[in-house]
Amino acid sequence: MSAMAVARLELRRLAVRPLAWALAALTIAWLAWTFILGLGQFLGAQVKLAAVADAPGFTDLVAIPLLAELAKLAFLVVPLMTMTQLAGERRGGTLALLASTGLSPRHIVIGKYIAVLAWLGLWLLATLAMPLAVGAESTADWGKLAAATLGTALLLATLAAIGIACSAATSFPAIAAAMALIVTLILWTIDRGAQAAGVTGGFLEWLTMATHLQNLLRGLVVTSDLVWFALAIALSLALAIRRLGADRERQ
């Protein structure tokens, strides 16, 4: 399949690029430090927590905050990972070369997206390995952890799709990264004005990314949240495909 050929090529490039390794090493080190701090605080509070009925456990106090920290880092990491995907190719002249192999814009975009998703999946797994290693020996709330992991995975997939769309829109990787960051921040906080005015619910709240992630991080899997992520991914990839298709006409 052509998209898989593009994904394989892109994964090979990611594997030999220092940026991917540097980002993985630095962020996992930071997350490990966060995890150790959280675990220390959790262990230190054991006596107090034992006296409280329905007290939050390891999942609430250590695992989910770790995933929330990963989500925060992803705001910066994902745009950096996606910025060169299409903008760099266009700038280097290799995008036209890819197009000349008969690959459709859809195959190129999907292939690139799969490669970024694979990298982000490994990043998430490496992070998840920390609470899983400890959780196996404790009383973790596996259902809640699974929902939070699903939420984080969907957030990463959405940010990757937004990053690819922004990378498709320009020839400058730095501009693509900045665009992706701004779009993400707008989507994250779009209902802030409404909240300040005391308005809750409604379309703006539904549009806000934070609303949907918070539900999943609390262990609530709601269909409308899953639909929001699916729509955001589909819309972003469709825009990227459309923009790449226009390259043949506009360049």
What character string, x for contact with another protein (CB under 8 A) and - otherwise, covers 101-140? xxxx------------------------------------
Among the residue ranges 7-15, 119-127, 205-213, 217-225, the one whose residues contact another protein (CB under 8 A): 7-15
**Distance between CA 48 and CA 34 in Å, rounded?**
22
Under rule CB under 8 A, residue 9 binds another protein: yes
**Which residues make Cβ contacts (< 8 Å) with residue 151, sequence separation at least 6?**
67, 212, 213, 215, 216, 217, 225
Are 98 and 22 in contact, with CB atoms under 8 Å apart? no
Under rule CB under 8 A, residue 251 binds another protein: yes
Residue 185 in tokens: 């921040």
Report the residue from 23, 63, 99, 239 that binds another protein according to the rule CB under 8 A.
Answer: 99
Under rule CB under 8 A, residue 87 binds another protein: no
**Distance between CA 98 and CA 9 in Å, rounded?**
11
Task: State in angstroms the smallest separation of the CB of 235 from another protein.
Answer: 25
**Distance between CA 232 and CA 155 in Å, rounded?**
10
Task: State in angstroms the smallest separation of the CB of 177 from another protein.
Answer: 19
Report the residue from 8, 72, 192, 218 that binds another protein according to the rule CB under 8 A.
Answer: 8
Is the CB of 97 or the CB of 231 nearer to another protein? Answer: 97
**Distance between CA 49 and CA 147 in Å, rounded?**
24
**Which residues make Cβ contacts (< 8 Å) with residue 52, sequence separation at least 6?**
none
Choose among 212, 187, 244, 17: nearest CA to 116: 17
Rule CB under 8 A: which of 14-33 touch another protein?
16-17
Applying CB under 8 A, the site for another protein has a residue count of 24
- Binding site residues, another protein, CB under 8 A: 2, 5-6, 8-9, 12-13, 16-17, 92-94, 96-104, 248-249, 251
